[in-house]
Amino acid sequence: MKEIVEYTDYRKFIQDYYDERKRCSAFSWHAFAQKAGFSSDVYLKYVCEGKKNLSIASAGSVATAMGLVGFEYDYFILMVSYAHAKSNEAKKAAFEERYALANAHKVRVLGSDEFNYFKSWKNPVLRELAPHMPGAKPLEIAHACKPKISAAEVSETLDFLVKAKLLKKDRDGNYHQTDKAIKMAPIEAVPLAARDLQRQMGEFALKSIDLPIAERMMSGYTLGLTRRAYERIKKETEDYYRRVVAIATEEDETEQVYRLNVQLFPLSEWLGSKNEKTNKKGEMK
């Protein structure tokens, strides 16, 4: 069975624990439930299947039944807390608490580097900028950033990018990208952090309106769409992004770092389709 820090879903962890015990002994859901203090023999089975939720209050007894102690006990409780978090802020707080706990015990949490990468605009910008400023000191790199940041922030960000293996540093102290492009990991907490990045970049986009037209490109349309048209446009945009990344990665040289934002969001409530309106009229008669 994998280490607990390799899990982000407490249901998967419980299921793997059960399967491992079952493989090695005559372990049963009945025995598991009794050991955890549940009256229903199949309660934990239903939890693993997503039919029931494990409460935070019950998480401790299940952790004890699985023989978890110390750091692993606390980590399991935090996994359950994360699953119960309703808002994005609560989920981020639960993930960060789990990460801090693991970090204190010198253990890497799955997705932690990706989560931290997408939390700040400085990470993607310096990942693009630093490799194309060979020999530059942190202060020089800081002066090249928009908006301006400190040399200390540059040093801290570069250290993180090297640690996360998103940049590598050669013997001369120059930085190189480990990959041409980065794709978001399929881990629930990572898109939560990415929203922070998108919010930051959206604020920068507003400020960039004051730049000379020769230095920025902006356009927009207000459209009336069906759901089918929305899905088609979304697909076209995804294909467009892939083509843009392919063009950008064709060349090794960088002359300036840009941010490309494309947004498509509702400016009205859902009005319903013609069929829905017809059905409603029929129901009123």
The model's pLDDT over 71-108, given as tens digits with 9 standing for 90+, comes to 889 889 999 998 998 887 888 888 888 878 877 776 65
Identify the DSSP state of 227: H
pLDDT for the residue numbered 274: 66
Count the alpha carbons within 13 Å of 67 in the hemisphere toward its beta carbon.
3
Q: What is the pLDDT of residue 187?
A: 54
Give the helix ranges, DSSP H, for the chain.
10-24, 29-36, 43-48, 56-65, 70-84, 88-104, 112-117, 122-129, 138-144, 151-163, 189-208, 227-248, 274-284
Question: How does 240-273 read in b/e, with b if 16+ C-beta sit within 10 Å?
Answer: eeeeeeeeeeeeeeeeeeeeeeeeeeeeeeeeee
With b meaning 16 or more CB within 10 Å and e meaning fewer, what string describes 58-88?
bbbebbebbebeeebbbbbbbbbbbbeeeee
Q: How many CB atoms lie within 10 A of CB 186?
A: 9
User: Quick one: pLDDT at residue 115?
Assistant: 76
Write the CB contacts of 230 (distance below 8 Å, at least 6 apart in sequence).
264
Residue at token pair 């978090």: 85
Q: In CATH, what number does 4-107 get?
A: 1.10.260
**Given this model, what pLDDT does residue 113 score?**
78
* Residue corresponding to tokens 């009005």: 271
**pLDDT in the model for residue 167:** 93
Angle at which helices 189-208 and 88-104 pack, to 10 degrees?
A: 120
Which pLDDT score is estimated for 66? Answer: 93
pLDDT in tens, 185-226: 555 666 677 778 888 888 898 889 888 888 888 888 898 999
How far is Cα 264 from Cα 242, in angstroms, rounded to an integer? 17
